[in-house]
Amino acid sequence: MLPYLNLQAAEAGLGRELSFAEKIWFNYSANKHDFVLHSHNIIFLCFFYSLVPLPYMLVELSRSKKIMKYKVQPKVQRSFWDMFKCYKDVMKSFLIVVGPLQILSYPTINLIGIRTGLPLPSLWELLLQLGVYFLVEDYVGYWVHRWLHTKWGYENIHHVHHEYRAPIGFAAPYAHWSEILILGFPAFLGPALIPGHIITYWLWFILRQMEAIDTHSGYEFPWTKYIPFYAGAKFHDYHHYVGRQSHSNFSSVFTYGDYLYGTDKGYRCYMVLSNKKISGGVLLRKIWEWEKGLYGDGNWNMFSVYRSFDLSENRLLNIAGRWRPFFTQTARSTDGKPSCANGDTGNMKEHCRLTTFTGVDRF
């Protein structure tokens, strides 16, 4: 609630004439308690979550060939009722989990100094604070996301979010209730470290939600490449496709965290493979080397992942035949014994159930 009775008192207090935006803000907020203004966050959350995914939903339902070329997993198609069910589940979690959390967090908002009065932040102040919020959330969220992919974190919490191996916009906040609370920490950390105006606070959560919807949309539109270091839908879609055992692409907004800590190697392998820039045999050898270095084992648990990207089964079997030593060392049948030794590539589909990485029991 503003400490001024009218516009004239506000201008006298600031020693200048109010800007057009400040006059609008005064007329809107002058008689509203700070708690009411803070509670707008849940309204904005529900409103933008309902609105922003709609274009992606219409594109998905239209099946337009001109737009479907931008779909990351074009073979996966969602019905209206699939998406509506996801929407209902998320809205339920918003009302049961996020709503009470917003109410309970009000004392903290006051404590850290997020203000509601005048003057409004300048454009540069607003942009710089939003930039810091994105960087802080992306870095801290990267490590939280990595923890969620530990055995305990995934089995007890994060597996709910990964029910969508081909994500959709409505699935961006689809998660276990405890994950919603956990991921609220990195999102709130930026405003806690550098508190600003309540408008900046609103914009931060609106923009963060819009970005999450875009990266989960399943569509990689060309304009996203103009955002520096932006992860985008293709980057995050790979993480969902790989699923439970994913050791790649943990960053939520930008890609610098995965680059700095080497957790984008699997994705870079995939990019090379999808573009067919090098021969399949050399590529598979590099994947084996990179994966062994990353995860400390030599299992060919990524083979079934890369099988699905732009290479036919015959092509992969041919690669396996030319690189027998790698499959002899690493491929295992269901009884744990090598099943691709001696170049027995003809029986690979039947015997080599290389499924640890994807969690899908097929080759």
Number of neighbouring beta carbons within 10 Å of residue 274 = 14
Return the half-sphere exposure (C-beta side, CA atoms, 13 A cut-off) of residue 84: 5
Whole-angstrom CA distances from 204 to 35, 135, 246 are 18, 12, 28
Residue 243 has pLDDT above 90, yes or no: no
Res 341 pLDDT > 50: no
pLDDT band at 1 (very low <50, low <70, confident <90, very high): low
**pLDDT value for 346:** 35
Residue 59: pLDDT band with limits 50, 70, 90 = very high
Cα separation of 354 and 338, whole Å?
Answer: 11
Number of Cβ within a 10 Å radius of residue 286: 16
**Cα separation of 30 and 117, whole Å?**
9
Digit-coded pLDDT (tens) for 209-239 = 999 999 999 999 998 888 888 989 999 998 8
Say yes or no to pLDDT of 156 above 60: yes
- Quick one: pLDDT band at residue 275, thresholds 50, 70, 90? low
Residue 69 scores a pLDDT above 50? yes
Position 248 scores a pLDDT of: 83
Q: 203, 40 in Cβ contact below 8 A? A: no
| E strands present in the chain | none
Give, for 102, the enclosing helix (H) or strand (E): helix 99-104
For residue 285, what pLDDT band results from cuts at 50, 70 and 90?
A: low
Residues 171-211: tens digit of each pLDDT = 999 999 999 999 999 999 999 999 999 999 999 999 999 99
Q: Residues 6 or more apart from 120 whose CB is under 8 A from it?
A: 19, 21, 22, 25, 197, 199
Mean pLDDT of all residues in 318-323: 44
pLDDT band at 272 (very low <50, low <70, confident <90, very high): low
